[in-house]
Amino acid sequence: MAKILLEMKNIVKEFPGVKALDNVNLTVEEGEIHAICGENGAGKSTLMNVLSGIYPYGSYSGDIVYDGEICKFQKIKDSEAKGIVIIHQELALVPLLTIGENMFLGNERGSAARIDWSETFAKADELLGMVGLKDSSKTLVKDIGVGKQQLVEIAKALGKKVRLLILDEPTASLNETESKHLLDLMLKFKQQGMTCIIISHKLNEISYVADKITVIRDGSSIMTLDKKKDDFSEDTIIAAMVGRSLTDRFPKREPKIGEVCFEVKNWCVDHPIYDGIKVCDNVNFNLRRGEVLGISGLMGAGRTELAMSIFGRSYGANIRGQIFLNGKEVSFPNVKSAIKNKIAYVTEDRKGNGLILTESISKNTTSANPGKISKNYVIDFDKERLYSQQMAKEMHTKCASVDENVGNLSGGNMQKVLLGKWLFAEPDILILDEPTRGIDVGAKYEIYCIINKMVAEGKSVIMISSEMPEILGMCDRIYVMNEGRMIAEMNGKDATQEKIMTCIINSGK
């Protein structure tokens, strides 16, 4: 029988007005990959923050037994000293430092008086080789992509002599190739005796790597499934997560598509920093009333750059081309003018560009349309609170109250606040950029229902997504984008993952 490395017994963690964890139990055996699944706000990240010492002993009740010893971690350094290392969804790297400097930040090589840079970079290169990253450790972090940054975080963990590696949504921002590499790396570490805990909403990835799955719902541990003994199907996991079976991932809709309401012609956008690089190259597309239009493509295809450049020229340089709204040529020189013309853009970067994390749910919800809750530039706070409560109820946002800071919410509930913010602006055209990234299947379904409700009312949605099933399941029509160009257009009913990938591959020849 395998040795039990970790036991978390009857863990209870409360925040003001909310019991985040309610007698949660978790048992992890040495050398296994153990997945933790649950809806947004279920308590998954909170449980891992308790384990890693981010929430210190005394701020919760229950016991952590690690390697046969009861642990009372007061800070993250305490858990790291035992070989427990957590990698958060939001990567903790300093962009303007080198990879090597980041890897040993707070864990410097050398003496108290002097850092040994030769040893630092040599050891960093050795660790990078272990995770399959060929970049020099002297490369600045800002000059590598998100997928490589994730590998840097893992290499950084290896430098701390990790025994238990915790990965919180490690593939949320990665493409399929990068995700597969990361998952295979976990399997490799498992063969070497490392223990891993992974939190993820991507159930196909969970099924691929995990030996066991513990499901948490509403702050309580519901069940643990063993791959060798139990049904590991996605339907079983979903039913445990949401408390009901989800027979269809995408809600049914009868499309009622009208005339063209939005059109972009000959749209070109240059890179804002590097001269001579076009991020959008003569792009043409149109959108119809009551339509969900998908824009598919690999990461770096130019989809986000296209959306942001259209939305008040918020990205890019030397932007040229034409935009037609209801047959009339228009121009959006800034974001305010786009909002005034009933265009909204839900960014993929909810923490960086979408929300003010230090402000309340209420203030964030009304921020895109302050005129609706004010008179003569004076805000009616009662009206602001009432509208925010209505939006939170409609979005099924889990929160103590709308006075709670957005930064305290789970990623999925932040996404609901972000979407609610732009729905409050009452747009006719809603551009959604990776709208369900890092969100559980139940919350995804709720967002899909909101999208369907919008288009049923005659409004229109442009959906940018790297999740192919989402594009195929939700969109009436799909454009395929690659290297800044629109390379194909197809009816949603006729589209397949194979057809889309074939278009991308052939366009690069």
C-alpha 399/C-alpha 401 separation (Å) is: 5
Contacts of 147 (CB under 8 A, 6+ apart): 173, 174, 175, 178, 181, 182
DSSP state of 360: B
Q: Are the C-beta atoms of residues 1 and 62 closer than 8 Å to each other?
A: no
DSSP for residue 273: S
Q: What are phi and psi of 133, to 5 degrees?
A: -105, 120
**Within 13 Å and on the Cβ side, how many CA atoms surround 41?**
21
* Predicted confidence pLDDT, tens digits, the chain (509 residues): 679 999 999 999 988 767 889 999 999 999 999 999 887 778 888 999 999 999 999 999 999 999 999 999 999 999 999 999 998 877 788 989 999 999 988 888 888 788 889 999 999 999 898 888 888 999 998 888 777 888 888 888 888 888 999 998 888 767 777 788 889 989 998 999 999 999 987 888 888 999 999 999 888 899 999 999 988 888 888 778 777 555 567 888 888 999 999 999 999 999 888 788 889 999 999 999 999 999 998 777 889 999 999 999 999 999 999 999 999 999 999 999 999 999 999 998 888 888 999 999 999 999 999 989 998 889 999 999 999 999 898 888 888 889 999 988 877 788 889 999 999 999 999 999 988 876 777 778 888 998 999 999 999 999 999 888 889 999 999 999 988 999 999 999 999 888 888 888 777 54
**Is the Cβ–Cβ distance between 433 and 369 less than 8 Å?**
no
Distance CA 16, CA 234 (A): 34
263 phi, psi to nearest 5 deg: -145, 140
CA distance 155 to 133: 9
pTM value is 0.67
289 in Cβ contact with 257 (< 8 Å): yes
